Amino acid sequence: MTTFRYALWLMMTGLCLISPGANADQTDARLDPLFAQLKSITDHRHGAELSNLIWAIWLEVDDIEARQRLRDGMIAMDRGEFRSALQHFSSLIQRSPGFAEGWNRRATLHYLRGDYASSARDIKQTLLLEPRHFGALSGLGLIMIRLREPDAAIVAFEKALAVNPHAANVRYHLERLRDLVQ
């Protein structure tokens, strides 16, 4: 285990011990220090590790039924079973409307189905619950590309990079768009 990973593991373990009642989702107390560190480090490999930790926390949900709906929706989406995934994610959102990742997963599903308006609506809700959701911001940028709105895509990608400067795919899209509009 690298020194950085060990230090990160110690920090995460310590935060769990300090705040045992912390919510597991976008309101989790572990997120603020992770986001601060994400902005301050310069090593992109460590940035990717921090991003993955943030995603893991966003996917945590304390409600067992909600967790199962999220899991089932993700499996169905991965299998291309979009109707089933939509049912699971919609049920998850109905059960836990304050869980940002439920909205984000359904937004992703709508995007994959080509329903960009519904995807954008769910991204808006995701960002209301978690304004730092760099995945949702990136998704909004992809929607704007599909809708041939490069200026709006650039704004979304810039916001995503402001939160997570280590998102290589976002940087790639942003650079391509800037070249196109110049």
- Is the domain of 38 the same as that of 68? no
Residue 170 lies in a domain: yes
Tell me, yes or no, whether 120 lies in a domain.
Answer: no
* pLDDT at residue 21, as a whole number: 36
Give me the domain span that covers residue 35: 3-18+26-59
Which pLDDT value is given to residue 23?
Answer: 52
96 within some domain = yes
Query: Rounded to an integer, what is the distance from CA 80 to the centroid of its chain?
Result: 20
Residues 154 and 182 in one domain: yes
pLDDT in tens, the chain (182 residues): 454 443 444 344 334 333 333 456 798 999 999 999 999 999 989 999 999 999 999 999 989 999 999 999 999 999 999 999 999 999 999 999 999 999 999 999 999 999 999 999 999 999 999 999 999 999 999 999 999 999 999 999 999 999 999 999 999 999 999 998 88
The DSSP-derived string for the chain is --HHHHHHHHHHHHHHHH-TT--SSTT-TTHHHHHHHHHH---HHHHHHHHHHHHHHHH--S-HHHHHHHHHHHHHHHTT-HHHHHHHHHHHHHH-TT-HHHHHHHHHHHHHHT-HHHHHHHHHHHHHH-TT-HHHHHHHHHHHHHTT-HHHHHHHHHHHHHH-TT-HHHHHHHHHHHHHH-
Contact between residue 24 and residue 61 where contact means Cβ atoms under 8 Å apart:
yes
* 159 is a domain residue: yes
Q: Pick from 74, 90, 115: which residue ends a domain?
A: 115
Look at residue 94 and tell me if it is in a domain.
Answer: yes
- The residue among 101, 106, 104, 100 whose CA lies nearest residue 88 is 106
Does one domain contain both 54 and 92? no
Are 180 and 136 in the same domain?
yes
User: Does 121 fall in a domain?
Assistant: no
Is residue 126 in a domain?
no
Q: Please give the C-alpha separations between residue 54 and each of 12, 29, 30, 76, in angstroms, as whole numbers.
A: 11, 11, 9, 23
The number of domains in the chain is 3
Q: Give the pLDDT confidence score for residue 85 in this predicted structure.
A: 98
